[in-house]
Amino acid sequence: MNVHDSEKLSGSMEREGYLRAAGPDGADVVLLNTCSIREKASEKVFSELGRLRKLKDRNPDMILGVCGCVGQQEGAEIFRRAPFVDLVIGPRSTASLPALMERVRQGETDVSLRVDTEYRRDSIDFPYDQIRREGEAAGKAFVTVIEGCNHRCTFCIVPRTRGKEVCRGMDDILAEVGQLADRGVLEVEFLGQTVNAYRDDRGNGLAELLVATSRIDGIERIRFTTSHPAQMTERLMDAMAEAGPRVVPFLHLPVQSGSSSVLKDMRRGYDRGTYLAKVAALRERIPGICLGTDIIVGFPTESDVDFRETLSLMEEVRFHSCYSFTYSPRPGTASEAFHDGVGPEEKQARLHELQLVQKGIQERLHASWVGRTVEVLVEGASKSDASRMTGRTPESRIVNFTGNAVIGRMAPILVESSSAYALLGRKIEPEA
């Protein structure tokens, strides 16, 4: 989502005649797009601003802006801690960026626009034909369908920084996808903080959107993220099966904890048994589906028994990927007031143990792919080995392979070996 927000910022600037610079040195405008979901990410912003101050001192006319969730969250605090910053905007104010830039050019200081976090339809109506899409050359594109979140998880700052849910009309989304297909995009990924809460003014939900998108010529893969388990309905599962294989057999479904007690304290709206039942229902409808998740360790009320329940759930579900983090209190969230019964060293120890468990799960799962031929959407050169190319399977498995292939197109790959983090193989060449 942050990548797509940056694409919108770039598109907004290019629409006004700006060209992308090779780097911050010598740039006329430097914008930091920020995330505040964890404390560490938020503090990185101020560290980066300290580095950029040197550029600002050398080039006082350079406009320096802070965009995104830290801009929405901190506001005036950014100007206080970094008075050399020229403008601050929240994540729903991208379309207003050129007008705010002009105010800075006219000599106004401390220009800020942090949107009302109540329902605002205009905050999501960004002109999609003006988005600078980084992944389009690789045949992929992000498409925002819903912004904001109406859940009130006790640990999460997203409702405060992103606001309440607001959805685009389905016809508008389908028009954007059709335009992308005409430009050669093969894979679209629908985005939302709680994407499966999508429902437009005519009552179309994500299920209807998936089925309609699967009928657009040229689109071969459809993904969506991030889903909330409480809103993973049978209707949506049925639609995923109905629209398959274009709707890929992969789902990111954050569980956050394997303990019903902790889930209740997190105010997630489901318990361990409910989550496992949804996993079983998904696997019944979509055999071979791969699942990813998010897990927070060291939540204030998490006991060692609770943590062990999380580990056992991981072994039971066998997630193909897992983003795991230690809990950090976020300002304005309910859990900020909880007594934190887990010390920092214990948090790190639990995180280390959990990540070792997940690594073992991924090693075993990936080993089962060896010998299979998979279809990969080619993304470019591998970051870990320049002699190989890389791409992803429909199940979102990274495949690094030898052989020549066209970026942005599909290629058949024979998987020859694996690690916890990727599959290795070679492109299958057509017979002469």
Look up the CATH number of the domain holding residue 72. 3.40.50.12160
192 assigned to some structural domain: yes
Q: Is residue 312 part of a domain?
A: yes
> What's the whole-number mean pLDDT along residues 135-155?
90
Domain housing 166 = 121-367
**For the chain, how many structural domains are there in total?**
3
Q: Are residues 422 and 318 in the same domain?
A: no
Q: Please state, in angstroms and as integers, the Cα–Cα distance from residue 371 to each residue in 144, 185, 289, 362, 366, following that order.
A: 37, 29, 19, 17, 11
User: Is the per-residue pLDDT at 116 higher than 70?
Assistant: no
- Mean pLDDT of the residues in the chain: 91
Last residue of a domain, one of 70, 92, 113: 113
Both structure tokens of 41: 């990410």
Distance CA 418, CA 371 (A): 10
Q: How confident is the model at residue 132 (pLDDT cuts 50, 70, 90)?
A: low
pLDDT of residue 126: 54
pLDDT for residue 259: 99
User: Cα dist. 394→24, 212, 249 in Å?
Assistant: 36, 19, 6
Q: Tell whether 96 and 157 lie within a shared domain.
A: no
How large a percentage of the chain has pLDDT more than 70? Answer: 93
pLDDT of amino acid 40: 67
Do 275 and 151 lie in a common domain?
yes
- What is the pLDDT, as a whole number, of residue 64? 93
Confidence of residue 135 (pLDDT cuts 50, 70, 90): low
List, in sequence order, every beta strand (DSSP E) within 382-432: 389-392, 398-402, 410-418, 423-427
Residue 432 within any structural domain of the chain = no
125 pLDDT band (50/70/90 cuts)? low
**CA-to-CA separations, 428 to 85, 221, 376, in angstroms, rounded:** 53, 21, 11
Residues at the binding site for [4Fe-4S] cluster are: 149, 153, 156
Mean pLDDT across the stretch 213-217?
98
The predicted structure's pLDDT at residue 73: 79
Binding-site members are 149, 153, 156
Residues 6+ apart with CB under 8 A from 55: 24, 25, 30, 62
The pLDDT confidence band at residue 319, using thresholds 50, 70 and 90, is very high
